[in-house]
Amino acid sequence: MPKVDITVEVCGMAGDGTIAAGGLVNEAMSLGGFSVLGFDSYPAEIRGFGRCVTRSRIGSNEIGALADETHILISLDDLQSRSRVPFLARDSAVLFDSKPDTLLEEEQSLAAVVEPGTALFGIPFTYLATAATGTSRGRNLAALGGFAALFGVQPEWFRRVITRKFQSKGEKVLEVNLKSFDAGFHYALEKFADRLRPSFAAANVVAGPEKVMLSGNQAIGQAALDAGLKLYFGYPITPATPIMEFLAKYLPAKGGRVVQMEDEIASVGAVLGAFYAGARAMTATSGPGFALMTELITHGVMAEIPAVILNAQRGGPSTGLPTKTEQSDLHAAVFGGPGDSSRIVIAPSNVAECYSFTVQSFQLAEKYQTPVIVLTDFYLDNRVENVVMPVASEKEKTDGNLYPDESLQGSYHRYLDTESGVSPRSLPGMEGFAYVATGLEHTERAQPDYTPEIHTKMTGKRHRKLQYALEDLPVPVEYSDGGQLDVGIIGWGSTFGSIQEAVNMARERGWKVAALKITSIFPYHEKEIRSFMTKCREILITELNYEGQLANLIGHLHRKEVVRLNQVTGVPFSPSAIFSKIEALLQAGVS
């Protein structure tokens, strides 16, 4: 049975229905049982202008990253799609509107620039949609019909997802979309009868348990809901805003509230206040907003108040590259802020982990009474994957607070220096357990105290509890066949999917290569990381930042200098770039 690994792009102008069409491709192929990873890019500016592109990698096997090349380009706008031509694979196919409303100049035409090895399929999207429905609004659906016919996609999959998407908008809208899809489907089937490429049909993929398409941000929002979030405080910022939008839609129905604050400082302050009072709360931001939060985050560290803060990284520093991806806030997340203010930092690497880590972050924050920072990035937040709908267990949702024993009433030491460093925490209103939460250094009874002994003791306490937290933090995941390795790659966050693909490519050649995913950035699992490093001749740490921020953090654990592979292009790592580095390391080792 032939393996399928095809990347489909839809490209158009904002307002062409590009993102909607790309979403339907994802949904339909997911329904058909394929693995799907999708990523959209669209203008940061005003609707109605600029290029929109959706990329969907569709495979019969599991997919961890976007591919380097596109195999099928569905163009809804010739001029915009010309920029996608350099990314087309050698034997790719291009579907384009062959009967636009107006004549195109050569300088505007997509057909004028495609390489001669590319199969061109001219389908009159606009004409077909208009002829079938009286309006051209369904031209993106006519394009999808052509795609389905040419590449062996069951039209029923599309009809079902179209119905699901449009039925709430009324019968007329649904009819326009279904009829437009059918018009494109039948046209292409007949017109290109001798040029069909039924790649998807040939894969004979059998649909398993029903999956849903979720973006990283949707998974985070859903996880927060499922974890019993009561209050969300935030200030809009790309790429974190969709979390607030998601929660604004669904949280009120669960008895919670979303509050747009005046800025990020207020947001994190409110989160600390809510947790102080015993309510689960969170905020989500990106680099510039996170920078504003740091002082209050350290307040949470010092006062030992839980908080859940999501930092959706984007290109920086400062305002930087709002719609581009980067992993350059690791230092800020781990070390940002005054004083020895260690806090928990975890980083999901895929959509499923966005869900599970977010659920877990509430318990961790409560149990260890410290801010928990969930580090994602633009690519992870906005990409969609088809996953079996995650559900948090009751145990995962349980209140993580350690409340004081009744017997301590009257003699309560809020910051009791226990073996683990975790002290029982009372909530306002608990009689006999009142205390002053302060950002000043303090004694076990919460009284300000700046003596060397107290500061030494309490700093040690706050750090010790993080080491205890390691047993609850997500452990590194080793991706290997065991044995000694020539190259071990360590990565984190969204980059890990590309690392996995590169390792697969290397293994197919019989190379001794493996990978380790670091999910708990701080504190980190030193023993497990060392154990992996010991097996490897070379350690390669791959990250989307300039310096190698994870390498700076854990590189010292290896017996020799780690090799760094860094990229700051604003786009995700391609598996082939990592593969090339592996190859170079192996060749250097041989010579």
Partner 1 sequence: MTARHVVIIGNGPAANEAAISLRTQAPDARITIISKEPIRYYKPHLLPDLIAGKVSEQDLYVNPLEFYKENDIRLRLGQEVVHVSFATNEVVMEHKEVVRFDGLIIATGGKPRIPEPLQVFEDLMLSLKTLSDAKVWKERLRWVDSVLIVGGDLTSLSFTKAVLSLGKKVYFILHGDSFWPVRFNEELSSEVSQRLSDRGVEVISCRKILRLVMASEDSVEVETDGRKLRVGAIGAFFGLVPDVKFLARSGLAIERGIVVDEFLRTRFEGVYAAGDCAQVYHPKLRDYWVSIGYRNARNLGRVAALNLLGGQESAETAPAGIFQLDDISVNTSWWTEF
Q: Which stretch binds partner 1 (CB under 8 A): 5-13, 31-39, 90-98, 383-391?
A: 90-98
Q: How far is the CB of 72 from partner 1 (least distance, A)?
A: 15
Comparing CB distances to partner 1, the nearer of 191 and 397 is 191
Nearest CA-CA partner of 538 in 522, 555, 552? 555
CA–CA separation, 472 vs 45, rounded Å? 42
Q: How far is the CB of 17 from partner 1 (least distance, A)?
A: 20
Instruction: Give 28's DSSP letter.
Output: H
Count of residues that interact with partner 1, criterion CB under 8 A: 22
Comparing CB distances to partner 1, the nearer of 105 and 262 is 105
* Location of structure tokens 């969300």: 232
Q: How big is the chain by its Cα radius of gyration, in Å?
A: 26
Q: How far is the CB of 127 from partner 1 (least distance, A)?
A: 10
CA–CA separation, 492 vs 378, rounded Å? 14
Comparing CB distances to partner 1, the nearer of 100 and 152 is 100
Angle at 154 between CA 151 and CA 157, to 5 degrees: 125
Comparing CB distances to partner 1, the nearer of 12 and 216 is 12
Q: What is the 3-state secondary structure (H, E, C) of 179-242?
A: HHHHHHHHHHHHHCCCCCCCHHHHCCCCCCCCCEEEEHHHHHHHHHHHCCCCEEEECCCCCCHH
Q: How do beta strands 371-377 and 307-313 pair?
A: parallel
- Provide the 10 A C-beta neighbour count for residue 432: 12
CA–CA separation, 434 vs 427, rounded Å? 8
Sequence-distant (6+) residues with CB within 8 A of 535 are 480, 483, 484, 485, 488, 514
Comparing CB distances to partner 1, the nearer of 95 and 223 is 95
Q: What's the chain's length in residues?
A: 591
Cis preceding-peptide flag for 239 (omega within 30 of 0): yes
CA–CA separation, 505 vs 13, rounded Å? 35
Q: What does the per-residue mask of binding to partner 1 show for 45-84, with x meaning CB under 8 A?
A: ----------------------------------------
The pair of structure tokens assigned to 544 is 């989307």
Q: How far is the CB of 58 from partner 1 (least distance, A)?
A: 24
Comparing CB distances to partner 1, the nearer of 102 and 168 is 102
CA–CA separation, 33 vs 584, rounded Å? 37
Comparing CB distances to partner 1, the nearer of 193 and 253 is 193
Question: If residue 283 lies in a helix (H) or strand (E), which one and from where to where?
Answer: strand 281-285
Q: List the interface residues with partner 1, window 121-150 (CB under 8 A).
A: 122
Q: List the interface residues with partner 1, window 194-213 (CB under 8 A).
A: 194-195
Q: How far is the CB of 145 from partner 1 (least distance, A)?
A: 18
User: How far are the Cα atoms of 234, 246, 254, 287, 307 from residue 260, in angstroms, in the given order?
Assistant: 5, 13, 18, 18, 17
Q: How far is the CB of 193 from partner 1 (least distance, A)?
A: 12
Comparing CB distances to partner 1, the nearer of 45 and 115 is 115
* Location of structure tokens 């980067």: 326
Q: How far is the CB of 107 from partner 1 (least distance, A)?
A: 10
Comparing CB distances to partner 1, the nearer of 104 and 568 is 104
CA–CA separation, 114 vs 106, rounded Å? 12
Comparing CB distances to partner 1, the nearer of 75 and 133 is 75
Sheet of 513-517: strand order equals: 477-479, 513-517, 485-491, 536-543, 563-566
Q: How far is the CB of 94 from partner 1 (least distance, A)?
A: 10
Q: How far is the CB of 150 from partner 1 (least distance, A)?
A: 13
Q: Which stretch binds partner 1 (CB under 8 A): 92-100, 133-141, 176-184, 522-530?
A: 92-100
CA–CA separation, 450 vs 196, rounded Å? 78
* Location of structure tokens 């290029």: 51
Q: What does the per-residue mask of binding to partner 1 show for 97-126, with x meaning CB under 8 A?
A: xxxx-xxxxx-xx-xx--xxx-xx-x----
Q: Evaluate the CA torsion angle 530, 534, 536, 540 in order and state its sign.
A: positive
Comparing CB distances to partner 1, the nearer of 124 and 287 is 124
Phi, psi of 503, rounded to the nearest 5 degrees:
-65, -40
Burial of 564 (0-12, 13-18, 19+ CB in 10 A): buried
Comparing CB distances to partner 1, the nearer of 94 and 562 is 94
Interaction between residue 191 and partner 1 (CB under 8 A): no
Q: How far is the CB of 69 from partner 1 (least distance, A)?
A: 16
Comparing CB distances to partner 1, the nearer of 119 and 577 is 119
Q: How far is the CB of 22 from partner 1 (least distance, A)?
A: 23
Q: How far is the CB of 140 from partner 1 (least distance, A)?
A: 18
Which residue among 96, 275, 524, 573 contacts partner 1 (CB under 8 A)?
A: 96
* Location of structure tokens 């569709």: 58
Q: How far is the CB of 116 from partner 1 (least distance, A)?
A: 4
Phi, psi of 168, rounded to the nearest 5 degrees:
-75, -15
Q: How far is the CB of 126 from partner 1 (least distance, A)?
A: 11
Q: List the interface residues with partner 1, window 147-166 (CB under 8 A).
A: none
Comparing CB distances to partner 1, the nearer of 47 and 90 is 90
Half-sphere exposure of 590 (CA within 13 A, CB side): 7
Q: Which residues bind partner 1 (CB under 8 A)?
A: 96-100, 102-106, 108-109, 111-112, 115-117, 119-120, 122, 194-195
